[in-house]
Structure 1
């Protein structure tokens, strides 16, 4: 199979066999993804800050 044939079959698959969400459903899902992305990044930032403080405390006790 050539690359061109693969791309053509991919487009046919996307056109005929994929169920696409409505515009409103897509917007709702985008908001959900954005909210969870922000929450997850805040959680990772909080853990990073906490570990940074722990490491600083550890090294300050050593010297």
Structure 2
């Protein structure tokens, strides 16, 4: 978890957002990771630039069955 991902999780929690899309992340590959506060980020990116992702709250994370990248 990076400082920016922690900031994102804190902002989503304080605004009570359950799902959001993010762009310009720097992680490479097509994976998922916990970013804090119960949020999971499903992301896809290459060359540490131009990555995109979807952050899902703990309340909805079990509803994600499959992610096509």
For this structure pair, what is the TM-score category when the shorter chain's length is used for normalisation? under 0.3
Bigger RCO (CA 8 Å, 6+ sep): 2
TM-score by length of 1: 0.24
- As a proportion of its length, which structure holds more strand? 2
Between Structure 1 and Structure 2, whose CA radius of gyration is higher? 1
